[in-house]
Amino acid sequence: MVKEQACGALLVTGPEKIRCGYGNGDCLLIDLKNAFFALSDSAERYSRASRDILERLCDVVKERGVPQQNDEWLHVVNSVFAAQKYQHKATFSLAAIRQTGVGSSICIINGGDSEVAIVNKTTRRVEYRTEPNMNFAGRSKGISGVMEVSLQGDHYRLVMASDGLADIARFCGEQVTDLVESFLSHGPVHEIPEKLRDLIISAVSQGIAGNYDDIGVIVIDPEALKRNTDVQLVMGGTNPSEEDAYQKDIRSSHLDGGWISMESLPENAHYVAKCGIRVR
């Protein structure tokens, strides 16, 4: 999924999950109109847990309106956390972007071992990253803290990723921070998904990939994000039958290895749905 110059997102199902008939436990929420983004990663025993919490977040925001303050976001997030069933464990990461006139203000809320990072595109250095914690949805009833990061200028990039990104880093002989700085910090943001996909394909062909987990990544250039795209996507968090349908139908279609533009989403609604993508 890409929005030129503003956002790119990648979702890949791990090969072992495909072989064993599991769903994809990584789920991404991309709201380009309201400039908020979320990522969740659930256990294979109930891969829909990630989608459940992100769709519930969408419903609460639609009902109450988009929060304008950090404490409002925290209240909304904790309300969807509290409704998660105990056995449906999942990570949760949120980044809500507000334009300030001189840059961007990013509200970050993070629970579990998924990651949110901010990288300086000029110096190629990670200037902020979340630390893993035990606030998993389905285990905790809420998240205690919210962080606001203020950015000045257009030389910053926001990266949200599940722990599957560590497997890509391993292919490159790097740590996740190294990969963000060396690979995700430069070049057009909308080209990153295809580059990551090519990196995985190359690692597989060279026999250095081995097994890897589901991979979910969202990369955003906040200053390039214009709120003129009235679309909200929830992608991933597929159950085994949905993932099986994707592997059988989409893999054999003309869309395999290609891209669906924002403009062509309606005419490809059938394929989009089978990819585990919900367009709101």
- pLDDT of residue 258 exceeding 70: no
Using an 8 Å Cβ cutoff, are 222 and 230 in contact? no
| SS3 track for the chain | CEECCCEEEEEECCHHHHHHCCCCCEEEEEECCCCEEEEEEECHHHCCHHHHHHHHHHHHHHHHCCCCCHHHHHHHHHHHHHCCCCCCCECEEEEEEEECCCEEEEEEEEECCCEEEEEECCCCEEEEECCCCCCCECCECCCCCCEEEEEECCCEEEEEECCCHHHHHHHCCCCHHHHHHHHHCCCCHHHHHHHHHHHHHHHHHCCCCCCCCCEEEEEECHHHCCCCCCCEEEEECCCHHHHHHHHHHHCCCCCCCCCCCCCCCHHHHHHHHHCCEEEC
Residue 44 — pLDDT band, cuts 50, 70, 90? confident
Q: Are 35 and 230 within 8 A, CB to CB?
A: no
Domain boundaries, the chain: 2-279
Once rounded to an integer, what is the mean pLDDT over residues 34-53? 95
Res. 115: pLDDT tops 80 = yes
Give the pLDDT score at 253: 63
Instruction: Select, from the ranges 6-10, 75-79, 198-202, 239-243, the one with the highest average predicted confidence (pLDDT).
Output: 75-79
How confident is residue 178, by pLDDT bands cut at 50, 70 and 90? very high
pLDDT digits (tens, 9 = 90+) for 119-157: 999 999 999 999 999 999 999 999 988 999 999 988 999
Q: What percent of the chain has pLDDT over 70?
A: 91
Q: What is the CATH number of domain 2-279?
A: 3.60.40.10
